[in-house]
Each structure stands twice: as C-alpha cells, then as structure tokens.
Amino acid sequence: MKKKKKGRLISLKWFILIFCLIGSVYVAQSSLSYTNAPVKAAKKTELQPGQIELSKTAEPVAGMVNQWDITLRIEGRNQFPPPPTDIVLIIDTSGSMKDNDRMIKAKTAAEKFVNLVLHKDYDNRIALITYSSEVTNYTFNESGWSEQFVDSKHKGLLIDKIKELEPVVNGGTFTQAGIKSATEVMAKAKGKKRNVVLISDGVPTYSYPPTEPYNQLIGMDKFNYKQDDYTYYESVKTIPKEKFNYNKTYGNGVRYRNGAFAPEYEQMPANSKNRLMANHAHSAIAEATITKNEKMSNGEYVVTDFYTIGVDMDSTSQDDEVVRGNQTMKEIATSEDKSFSATADNLEDILSSIAGEIVGAIKSAFVVDPMGLGFEMDGDVNVSQGTTEIKEVIGRPTINWNVGTLKTPVSSDPDEDVMFAEIKYRINAVNDILKPNIIDSNGLAATNGKTTIVYKDYSDEIKQTEFVVPKVKPIIVSLQKKLHDEKGEEIDDQTELFDFNYGKDQYTANDRFSLYSNEVKKIVHPWKADQNYTVEEVLKANQEYETTIDINGLATTGGKSSFKFAPNADAYAHQQIIVTNKKIPEKKTVILNIRQSVLKPNSELVIPSKGFYQSVINETQQKLNLISASTTKDSATELSQELFTKYEITLAKQQEQLKIKDLIPEYYTFFAYIATTTNLNLNITHLSSNTSALVKNNEAILDYQKDNEYWVTMFITPNFGEDSNEELFISPRPYSWDYKVNKFGSSF
C-alpha cells in the first residue's frame, strides 16, 4: 500500500550564490529582443520579450493616518521564442491516483502546463507517457501528421488524451518502466533543451530485476531490518544499464521492498541466515541515474532537467514507505530544487512554475525586503506565489521572499505572455522615525531599506537589481509644554512634571506621558482619520494653574481640547499642540460694570437717581453693597458705556462667583436683568427689547472663573400694588388705616 506526502521538497543550492551577490555592486539587467518577434502589448506593461519590470508602491490605508499598504510587483514578458524545449510528461495512473481527486486535478494541471509550454509560435514539444503496472507511450496522429512529440499546432490532440486519462484499478507503480520509456522517447528529441516531468503519488512497487552480481548477495547492501534472526540485504541504486533484465517485471504492486527470490535473484541455501530483498525504489533511482548520464552523439546529455512532483506524500511522516517515497523523488530529479512536493490542490501551481522555468523571463528569483527605520509591519504578508520568511537583520524585520518563476498572467487573454508575482503587507510609522536622518528635508521617509532581487533569467544568467523604495510623509503629533507665572510671563521650571494623555482607542491607549516646562513630546503612530482625539492635561491636587490649550493656532481654556485629521490622505497635516499653564494668583481683581434702568416711568412717582444692590461672594457671608446710576434710558440712541458704574472687586483664589440682587425701591418691582462679558454693541444687547437675553430673576450670578469682566443692566418698573378688590392702583397711595390695606395685622 502506497503512502502519501505533502509539502514542497526544494533545494536552494543556487541561492547560496545569490546571498553572496546581494551585497555586491548593482548588476545591470539586460533583455533579449528579436527583430522578428511578434511584440504584443500586454495588459499592464510594454515589456520586450525576456525583459522584466519591478515596482514597489506605498498606498495610504483608507481612513488611517501613518499606515500604508506596500506592494512589490515583478512582471516579465516570456522570452520569444524561448529556447526550443522537448518535454516528456510522465503521469502515474496507478489506482491510488483516484483518491482525493488526484487524477482529476492532475489532468487539469497538465492541461494548463501544455497551454503554457506550447504557446502559439513557440518551438516547444511535449510527449506523454503514463504508467501503473504497465507503461503506455502515446503516439499522436492527425491528417497525415504522426509524432510522439506534440507541437503547438497539434496540442489539442495531447490535451484531449490527457482529459481521457483514468486511474487503473488495482494498478501498481512501475516508476522505473516509465523513466526507461521516457529516455527512449527523449532519444528522438530535437530541442535545445530536453526535460522530463514525472508526476506520481507513491513509492515504486515494481522494477526490472537486476542481473549478476546485482541480483546476488555479493552485489547487494545490508540494511537495518530485524525479523527473526535473519540478516537482510537489498538491491542497490547504483545498478548500471547493462545489468537490468528489461524483459521481466518484478514486484507485488504493494510495497517498495519485497522478498527477492529465484529465478530472478540468487537462491539462498536452506540453512542460510541471509535474506535478499528487491528494492523497487532503488531500481527507479538507478534508472533515473542512467537517464541523466545518457548522452547524445554531440556530447550533450539526453535530459537537461529531470523534474519530479510527489503528490499527497506527507513529508513529515515517519512511516518507512512514505520516507522512502519522498527520498526516491528527490534522487530521481536532477537536483533537489527540481523535486517538488505537492497536494492535489497545488499541483497546478507547481506545474505552472515548471512551465515558467521553461518559457519565462525569470526562472527563479529571491527578494530581500527589509523594513525602513521607523516603520513596523502590521499583520500578515500575502504573496501571489512562492514562500516568505521574516527574520531580524541588523535589528530590522526583513522579508525573504523565495519567488520561484513567474507563472501568473497579468490578464485573462489566452495569448497573454506577460507574467507577474507580487507581495503585499501593511506598515505603520512609529516613534523611531523621529531619530536623526530618517525624515528628509521634504518631510518624507523611505518605507524600506535597500530592497534587492536576485534572479536567474531566461538564459540561466544570475542577475541582481533593486526596487525603487517609495517614500511617505509621516504625520507627527507634537505637544509643547509652557508655564507662566501669575503675571503671564513665561518661566522655565524643570522641577515640576505635568501629566498628559490622548484618546483611549487601540492606537492612543498607551499615550500617557509627563513633561517639564518647555519640553516637547512628539508622537508618531497610526491614528484614525476624521475622528476627534482628546488631548488632556491632568493636574495634580497641588497644581493650581489655569490651562490654555492651543491646537494649530486655535486656543481654548480648560484642561481638555480635541483635534482630528482630515478625511483624505492628501490633506493630512502635523498637529501642533501647545499647553500653557498660568499660575493662579492668591487674589485677583475682576471688573463689574452695572446700571439700573427704569421702564415705563410714572409721572406721579419719583424716578430713583441711584440703584442699590447687595452682592454675595460665593456661598460665603462676605457681602458687598453696590450703588450705580439709575435712569430711564432704554433706547439705542440713549444707551452708552457712560451709564454704567464700574467696580474693581478683589477676589480670593477660591472666590469665583458673585451674586447680585437689586434692592427695589417702594412702589417698584424687579422686571429682569441682562449680563454680558463684553461691552460690544451695548446699545443693542442691553435694551429691554432684547428679550432673548432677559433673565427674570432678581439674582444675577456672575462666574469669574472664566471671565474677568461683566456688564450688567437691572430693569425695574413701577408697581403700586392692589386695592381691597385686587385691582391695580394707578398712583401712589396716601397713608390709610383701612384694615384691608393695613399690612401689620390690625383691625377695628
């Protein structure tokens, strides 16, 4: 029974050379252009055949400040024509290929591979061999044309045959026979390059028996296998071509190693403690070695590259059958980087990679992408192909991207010959960006360090070049602390710390800091755009100051203020915040401007020339008696600042509120008051006709915590009272002992 594996088996031998090149001088890239090549405009580029194009962009994240999406993109136009290549495609059709839809997905992948390699006007050709317990070598015929190798004009015949393939019920795995047949077909190849691609899901279970001495104890190797008290020997993987009996098949179709018995193998004596085993995997490796060493008459090897793809063989398994299957596929390939481990789902991707090595502008590539100083990654790295690894290099996260070959078309055009690969990730600007020499004179900073690609081009030449690293504008929130004395003069006090914080969302939760006078705190991290953020100064119990917060030139009083960034990235701007604390004096002088106005004066009633008021400071018993002028002036032409009586009142530190009550003369009643903090437009705001400002309460409460000056008008109006019938008097009353008027409770 065959075991499966997954995960890619890859060797990066040539990348040793790449890492040596990364620090070297820039190698100018070249391109191959044929004057007779049909240069077709790709959907996204105007590259010449065999040419590549690199781009790296930083796109602001919508709705965020100091956050960008980075995209590295590689595009390359397939060379035209690519070096003529003949390929033998070997597909395992053993019974287990039906599991997990392996055969269905293998056929889909093979069809795409054929379309990529046998592109219109390419001189490539493909032959097809299938095997299970037996081998089938296909010949294709159409209108007088007959060939084992199919060209681009006849690729439909090959695709039709691939679609017809089905797993063979109870079929074993005769890998050696498939390789031998491929070698025989490849002897008829004409291409400049000649490749074999083998797809299988299991370890070999059949082989050709070797001849002496390789089928004898003397020609076998001992292996560690204890059963009973016997010593076991198995066939080796170094059997030469002339020592196989290609007229016979040996094996049980189940395991890669089974008993080796006469007549194919030496008969052990009846009393022998030695036992012989046939290792079909070793025979497949031996056959692959024979194939890879086979030469043509001109001295070139028959096979340029031998690719192997193991489907659904778990590379982490410790099962002997699976381990042997994985190792066999590695040793059959010309090198480990030509051996792949696939699942049924990514088989198409791997075959496309192999096709890219055959026709692409880049056969393999490796990108080193370090983060820029002052930037950090946010989230995962997403790649269209290949694998990534993040490592710390000189203190900076660095993405190592093993790209592979370019294999994804930039458009859905069936004739598209420009391929691409790209990588995307998100970065944030952070406080380290404020270190010297990172932000340039234009306010820009490079998102990444030197980003290098080393690749093997269509002509197998290794080249190195660099991406152009984008620059972005980090947005800085800067807070400066200032301290003033009681007179408003700036002082430099480095003994007292003041505490601050910003908002409490996921980005500002850690923005808690303390500053001395004249210190500046600059912060760079992500912020949400078009959202209010609060800057708050938290004074300690013993810090008695008045606070003013100036944000970008707009000042507000109090310990809190807010700012927000513009909704669009092109309008983002630095935030300049200045927090000023002024020492609260032990006493302060405030100003009260007050007048009394008599409305609807009565000719029989004396109009008071003065207004008398009683005022109380805060909730204490401290009282002030105030006097002002009293007139009937209540029109725009009459009212002026001179009608107000000015008082300068000294308040203690904690005294902030003044309550004023009008002492109403006899036969008058309180009507309303108006209070403003400015004398602007007094002849409009301080008229009884300004009904929206009238307060119908004979107690004006003035808050001197925020404002140092008030203007107050008290309005009174005649009121003669009511007679015994509750009718209003229209003139002052004489003295009367009428009990109904007597307010002292006496009666006759």
Domain membership of residue 533 (yes or no) is yes
Closest of 40, 108, 159, 82 to residue 415, by C-alpha: 40
**E-strand spans in 42-105?**
52-60, 64-65, 67-77, 85-92
Residue 30 has pLDDT above 50, yes or no: no
Interatomic CA distance for residues 115 and 156, integer angstroms: 9
Domain boundary among the residues 410, 437, 472 is at: 472
**Whole-angstrom Cα distance, residue 269 to residue 246?**
27
Q: What are phi and psi of 528, to 5 degrees?
A: -85, 135
Token pair for 643: 């009608």
428 and 482, same domain (yes or no):
no
Confidence of residue 2 (pLDDT cuts 50, 70, 90): very low
657 pLDDT above the threshold of 60 = yes
- Decide if 248 is inside a domain: no
What is the CATH number for 50? 2.60.40.740
Residue 500 lies in a domain: yes
What CATH number does the domain containing 713 carry?
A: 2.60.40
Lowest mean pLDDT among 144-158, 332-346, 603-617, 716-730: 716-730
| Torsion from C-alpha of 90, 96, 100, 103, nearest 10 degrees | 30
Measure Cα distances from 679 to 155, 539, 633, 709 in Å.
95, 34, 17, 9
Residues 491 and 371 in one domain: no
pLDDT in tens, 307-317: 999 998 876 77
Rg (C-alpha) for the chain, rounded Å, is 47
The tens digit of pLDDT for each residue in 462-514 reads: 999 999 999 999 999 999 999 999 888 999 888 899 999 998 889 999 999 99
Q: Which domain holds residue 333?
A: 85-207+281-356
Residue 745 pLDDT exceeds 50: no
Instruction: Give the pLDDT confidence score for residue 343 in this predicted structure.
Output: 87
Q: Are 505 and 436 within one domain?
A: no
The pLDDT, as a whole number, for residue 23 is 38
Pair (192, 338) in one structural domain: yes
Instruction: Quote the DSSP letter at residue 352.
Output: H
Asked whether the beta carbons of 720 and 707 are under 8 A apart, the reply is no
First to last CA, the chain: 132
Do residues 206 and 133 make contact, with C-beta atoms less than 8 angstroms apart? Answer: yes
Angular region, 395: left φ>0, alpha ψ -120 to 50, beta rest = left
DSSP state at residue 722: B
* Section 729-737 average pLDDT: 58
CB 540 within 8 A of CB 503: no
Which of 309-318, 346-355, 654-663, 730-739 is the least confident region? 730-739
Whether the predicted pLDDT of 19 surpasses 60: no
- Per mean pLDDT, which range of 202-211, 318-327, 402-411, 723-732 is the poorest? 723-732
- Which domain CATH number covers 296? 3.40.50.410
Q: Are residues 562 and 701 in the same domain?
A: no
Residue 655: which pLDDT band, with cuts at 50, 70 and 90? confident
Q: Identify whether 689 is part of a domain.
A: yes
Whether residues 66 and 106 fall in one domain = no
- Residue 645 pLDDT level (bands cut at 50, 70, 90): very high
Could you tell me if residue 726 is inside a domain?
no
C-beta neighbour count of 540 within 10 angstroms = 10
| φ/ψ bin of 158: left (φ > 0), alpha (ψ from -120 to 50), beta (otherwise) | alpha
**Token pair for 697:** 């309460």
State how many domains the chain has.
4
pLDDT digits 0-9 by tens, 514-542: 999 999 999 999 999 989 999 999 999 88
Distance CA 300, CA 298 (A): 6
pLDDT band at 45 (very low <50, low <70, confident <90, very high): low
Residue type, 473: K
Q: Inform me whether the pLDDT recorded for 735 exceeds 60.
A: no
Q: Which of 25-29, 233-237, 544-548 shows the lowest per-residue confidence on average (mean pLDDT)? A: 25-29
Backbone angles phi, psi at 37, to 5 degrees: -80, 135
pLDDT over threshold 50, residue 48: yes
How much is the pLDDT for 742? Answer: 41
- Last residue of a domain, which of 583, 600, 630? 583
Whether 744 maps to a domain, the answer reads: no
Which residue type occupies 301?
Y
Helix axes 175-186, 280-293, angle to 10 degrees: 10
CB 623 within 8 A of CB 615: yes
What is the rounded CA–CA span in Å between residue 555 and residue 548?
A: 7
Q: Kindly indicate the confidence band of residue 417, based on its pLDDT and cuts at 50, 70 and 90.
A: confident
Domain presence at residue 5: no
Is 462 in the same domain as 332? no
Query: Residue 190 carries which side chain, given as an amino acid letter?
Result: K
Instruction: Output phi, psi for 513, to 5 deg.
Output: -155, 165
- At 685, is the secondary structure helix, strand, or coil? helix
**In the prediction, which pLDDT does 1 show?**
39
The residue ranking higher by pLDDT, 64 or 667, is 64
Taking only the tens place, the pLDDT of each residue in 107-126 is 999 999 999 999 888 899 99
Do 438 and 389 share a structural domain? yes
The two three-digit tokens of residue 3, written as one number: 């075991």
**45 and 90 in one domain?**
no
> Which of the listed residues 472, 504, 533 is the one where a domain comes to its end?
472
Q: Which of 638, 634, 629, 633 is nearest to 687 (CA)?
A: 634
Give, as one character, the DSSP assignment of residue 714. E
Compute the distance between CA of residue 312 and CA of residue 347 in angstroms, rounded to an integer.
10
Q: Over the chain, what is the mean pLDDT?
A: 89
In-domain check, residue 376: yes
Indicate if 564 and 685 belong to the same structural domain. Answer: no
Asked whether residue 305 falls in the same domain as residue 445, the answer is no
Q: What is the pLDDT of residue 736?
A: 43
The helix or strand, by DSSP H or E, that contains position 427, with its residue range, turns out to be strand 418-429
How confident is the model over 254-279, as a mean pLDDT? 95
Q: What value, to the nearest 5°, has the Cα angle with vertex 133 and ends 132 and 139? A: 60
DSSP state of 113: H
- Do 203 and 346 belong to one domain? yes
